[in-house]
């Protein structure tokens, strides 16, 4: 592979682009933010053009190593600088993903390999972009996160991880063991986004939001677990609860008060985001400029079928890549 001249750079760029989807998926799972994944992949390509590896066959491990190192640096900065309020992942559209039935082997969100093999490891690809999974990754240090994703999501061998991350195989095994231990709580409550779960989630979300918008307190309360948690991410840019709101009555009071302040949505639509249905809603600009004009609301159901977690993402940067809701409200 040439390193000098426009022709050499063009060959490098073309070769690197073949790995773009993989790199973006890795960076999104590393950071949990689509806009950050965009920036990290772009920086990875910039470095590839400036100083690519000597041989074409070394490009993917090299790109992986650069992208992971950039993502690890980003995570360290994020933790060092802190985050205003509750951090939540940015919503990612997964409308083209095929959710498995309860009896099928989940195909994930990326193409299967020739011959019927899967690119997936311990965790399905669709599952690995779910809010529950991405939030569980927050318990891992950056190196653990990288090793777990490569081993258990992208099905890298120990040797391949060691080569990609410039670690010894023994160190990969130790870091991987610790990462899996940190995911134990997630594994115990693991819920793969099957078609059946998607449908149950859609019904619960639509019924709950309808009750909320119509002021039907009894119906809304019946859909909530008694120990429901509401988490809101405003990123310090728009008004949001700085801490989780706990308990059905407090969550209802918080949401009804917010609905009064913000008014009804001007447009709303249920979209498939991160493997499950979520409500995307736009609002008219209010007198208070700190009130969000777009929100994504999603729910996780408990074992009893009621809403156990309610997430609201309001941070503009995390919602900028979503398509606008198509349905216009009354």
Would you call 110 helix, strand, or coil by DSSP? coil
Provide the domain limits for residue 302.
195-319
Would you call 269 helix, strand, or coil by DSSP? strand
Judge whether 242 and 255 are in contact, CB under 8 Å: no
Residue 151 lies in a domain: no
Would you call 178 helix, strand, or coil by DSSP? helix
pTM: 0.87
Residue 116 lies in a domain: no
Residue 238 lies in a domain: yes
The CATH number that applies at residue 290 is: 3.10.450.50
Q: Which two tokens stand for residue 131?
A: 């809010």
Counting the structural domains of the chain, the total is 1
Work out the angle at residue 130's Cα, subtended by the Cα atoms of residues 176 and 107, and round it to the nearest 5 degrees. Answer: 85
Element (H, E) at 39: helix 34-50
Non-local CB neighbours of 26 within 8 Å, separated by 6+ positions: 64, 67, 68, 71, 149, 150, 154
Residue 254 lies in a domain: yes
Residue 226 lies in a domain: yes
Residue 257 lies in a domain: yes
Q: pLDDT digit of tens for each residue in the chain (330 aa)?
A: 444 344 456 666 777 788 899 999 999 999 999 999 999 999 999 988 787 766 666 788 889 999 999 999 999 999 999 899 999 999 999 975 656 544 333 333 443 333 444 444 689 899 999 999 999 999 999 999 999 999 999 999 999 999 999 999 999 999 999 999 999 999 998 889 999 999 999 999 999 999 998 999 999 999 999 999 999 999 999 999 999 999 999 999 999 998 888 888 999 999 999 999 999 999 988 788 899 999 999 999 999 999 999 999 999 999 988 999 986 654
Residue 262 lies in a domain: yes
Q: How far apart, in whole angstroms, are the C-alpha atoms of residue 301 and residue 288? A: 33
Residue 126 lies in a domain: no
């Amino acid at each position: 592979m040439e390193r000098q001249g426009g022709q050499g750079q063009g060959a490098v760029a073309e070769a690197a682009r073949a790995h773009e989807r993989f790199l973006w998926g890795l960076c999104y799972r590393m950071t949990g933010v689509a806009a950050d994944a965009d920036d990290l992949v772009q920086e990875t390509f910039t470095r590839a053009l400036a100083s690519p590896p000597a041989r074409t066959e070394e490009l993917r491990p090299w790109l992986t190593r650069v992208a992971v190192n950039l993502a690890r640096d980003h995570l360290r900065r994020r933790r060092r600088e802190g985050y205003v309020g509750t951090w939540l992942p940015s919503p990612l559209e997964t409308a083209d993903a095929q959710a498995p039935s309860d009896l099928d082997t989940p195909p994930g969100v990326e193409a299967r390999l020739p011959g019927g093999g899967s690119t997936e490891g311990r965790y399905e690809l669709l599952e690995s972009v779910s809010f529950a999974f991405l939030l569980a990754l927050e318990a891992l240090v950056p190196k653990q996160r990288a090793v777990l994703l490569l081993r258990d999501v992208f099905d890298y061998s120990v040797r391949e991880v060691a080569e990609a991350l410039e670690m010894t195989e023994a160190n990969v095994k130790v870091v991987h063991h610790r990462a899996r231990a940190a995911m134990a709580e997630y594994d115990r409550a693991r819920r793969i986004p099957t078609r059946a779960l998607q449908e149950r989630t859609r019904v619960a979300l639509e019924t709950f939001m309808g009750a909320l918008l119509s002021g039907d307190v009894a119906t809304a309360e019946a859909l909530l677990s008694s120990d429901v948690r509401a988490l809101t991410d405003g990123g310090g840019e728009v008004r949001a609860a700085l801490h989780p709101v706990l308990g059905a009555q407090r969550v209802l009071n918080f949401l009804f008060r917010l609905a009064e302040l913000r008014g009804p949505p001007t447009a709303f639509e249920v979209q498939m985001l991160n493997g499950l249905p979520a409500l995307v809603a736009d609002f008219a600009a209010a007198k208070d400029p700190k009130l969000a004009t777009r929100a994504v609301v999603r729910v996780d159901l408990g074992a009893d079928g009621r809403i156990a977690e309610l997430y609201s993402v309001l941070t503009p940067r995390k919602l900028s890549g979503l398509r606008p809701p198509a349905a216009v409200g009354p």
